[in-house]
Amino acid sequence: MFPAPAPILATTARRFALRSLPSLAAAQQSLTQSSFFIATLPPSRNPINPAPSTVMRLYSSTPQPQSPIPDGNSILASYQQQPTSSSPLMGNNISSAMETLARANAVCFDVDSTVITEEGIDVLADTLGKGPEVSAWTSKAMDGNIKFEDALAARLDIIRPSRKDIEKCLEMHPLRLSPGVDTLVEALQKRGTEVFLVSGGFRLMIEPVAEVLGVKKDHVYANTILFDESGNYAGFDATEPTSADQGKPKALRMIKEKYGFEKMVMVGDGATDAQACPPADAFIGFGGVVVREAVKEKACWFVEDFEMMIDIVNKYGSN
């Protein structure tokens, strides 16, 4: 599941731990020896879901022989008859989203509250004693009530993190993968679908996540914090596409034009993710960490876990 396990354990895992499982080795063993496993998560910092949760994996860890891709209505009907997830089927155009996922050349994931179970900037603010002030701005940005660039600038001006602050944060509070996202990414990559991380978060915090998931560094689109010669905060790179409102649509257009992808899916929990469709051909809203009603209303397909997505990816090859 994880590329080059030894180097990751020697470098990345000191700063980023998959705390949803006892260890990386245990994760690999459980996936190879059993068709399902149970992962107990520690308490989340998200006040909406503060208690530990137990998640039952219903998918097979071994990809199924891939079938010809039917139309979206047929895919949807198969899950209505025999559901593989505890999540109800929700969305504005579920059949189209399912077919797009089955045929996707690329899938772009938001990171905070989607790939990981927390908002990275809120975790950083907590370690610097600025948590409540910053999280209020984060909620405004994710709900679409303020321009993203204004929220980003305001939050960074509050915390002004140094390079050492970020390194210490990752050591003290390792980020946690959302249950099943590693299996979904692995299934996509095995199928030949390119995976991108497109985030309004910070590259320094996201690149360790990408390393664990086996996502290439040049497939990470995120914000770059600037530091002076002493490592003190000196602003952020405003030329990054994700540093401003409508930044994710811009990033996805860049990706689509650069690689010539015909079918692209965006997966995320926030209003900025919903903005990315189009150019994404489908937006799958994710509510496994926090459910945002504005996002739920805009999603082609809204899921609260990755089980059905994993099943579709394993079942169908991309065109």
CA angle 184, 3, 265 (to 5 degrees): 30
- Is residue 112 annotated as part of the catalytic site, yes or no? yes
Measured distance CA(268)–CA(286) in Å, rounded:
5
- Is residue 110 annotated as part of the catalytic site, yes or no? yes
Residue 261 in contact with residue 234, Cβ under 8 Å? no
Catalytic residue among 110, 182, 305, 311: 110
Measured distance CA(179)–CA(281) in Å, rounded:
25
DSSP 68-124: P---HHHHHHHHHHS--SSSPPB-SSHHHHHHHHHH-SEEEE-IIIIIBSS-HHHHH
Number of other CB atoms surrounding residue 164 within 10 Å: 12
Measured distance CA(301)–CA(287) in Å, rounded:
11
Residue 211 in contact with residue 87, Cβ under 8 Å? no
Q: Would strands 264-268 and 106-109 be described as parallel, antiparallel, or unpaired?
A: parallel
Residue tagged 């809120």 (tokens): 122
Report DSSP state, residue 229. T
Number of H helices, E strands in the chain: 14, 10
HEC states along 174-186?
CCCECCCHHHHHH
Tell me what percent of the chain is helix, strand and coil, each rounded to the nearest 5.
45, 15, 40
Q: What residues contact 136, with CB distance under 8 A and at least 6 apart? A: none
Catalytic residue among 71, 112, 237, 281: 112
Which helix (H) or strand (E) segment holds residue 309: the answer is helix 307-315
Residues with active-site annotation: 110, 112
